[in-house]
Amino acid sequence: MTPIDHNPAPPSAYLVGLERPGQAEGEAVALLAELAELVANLHTPVGGQMLVRLREENPRHLVGSGKMREIADAARAAGCGLVIFDDELSAAQQRNWERDAGLRVIDRQEVILDIFASRASTREAVLQVRLAQLEYQLPRLKRLWSHLDRQRGGGAMQRDAGEKQIEMDQRLIRERIAKVRAELSEVIRRRATQRKQRHRIPLPTAAIVGYTNAGKSSLLNKLTGADVYAADKLFATLDPTTRRLALPSGRALLLTDTVGFVRRLPHRLVEAFKATLEEAVRVDFLIHVVDLSSPEHEAHWRTTHEVLTEIGAAEKPILTVFNKTDACADAVPRFAARARHPDARFISIHTGEGLDALLAELDARTAAKHPVARLLIPHDRHDFLGELHAAGAVVTEKHEAEGVIVEAQIPPRLQTAVATFLIKPSPMAR
Query: Each residue of 333-348: pLDDT tens digit?
Result: 899 999 999 999 999 9
Mean pLDDT of 138-146: 64
Q: How far apart are CA 246 and CA 224, in angstroms?
A: 8
- CA distances in angstroms from 165 to 98, 162, 168, 314, listed in the order given: 19, 5, 5, 45
Percent of the chain with pLDDT over 90: 36
Q: How far apart are CA 158 and CA 168, in angstroms?
A: 17
Residue 367 half-sphere exposure toward CB, CA atoms < 13 A: 12
Which positions ≥6 away from 315 have C-beta within 8 Å?
Answer: none
The model's pTM is 0.75
Q: Is 157 exposed, middle or buried (0-12, 13-18, 19+ CB in 10 A)?
A: exposed
The answer to whether 239 and 125 have CB atoms below 8 angstroms apart is: yes
pLDDT of residue 364 exceeding 80, the answer is yes
Please give the single-letter amino acid code of residue 297. H
Residues in the chain: 430
pLDDT at 384: 85
Pairing label, strands 205-210, 252-257: parallel
- How many other β-carbons are positioned within 10 Å of the β-carbon of residue 57? 15
Q: Is 116 exposed, middle or buried (0-12, 13-18, 19+ CB in 10 A)?
A: buried
Q: Which residue has the higher pLDDT, 341 or 282?
A: 341
Alpha helices in 260-410 (DSSP H): 267-272, 274-282, 297-310, 332-340, 355-369, 382-390
The answer to whether 39 and 12 have CB atoms below 8 angstroms apart is: no
Residues 188-244 pLDDT 10s: 788 767 666 655 556 788 999 999 888 998 999 999 986 655 555 555 556 678 888
pLDDT of residue 145 exceeding 70, the answer is no
Local structure of residue 380 (DSSP, 8 states) = G
Mean pLDDT of all residues belonging to the chain: 82
Query: Taking the C-alpha atoms of 217, 219, 220 and 226 in order, what is their torsion angle to the nearest 10 degrees?
Result: 90
Residues 155-190 pLDDT 10s: 333 445 445 667 777 888 889 999 998 998 888 788
Q: Which residue has the higher pLDDT, 385 or 15?
A: 15
The answer to whether 266 and 273 have CB atoms below 8 angstroms apart is: no
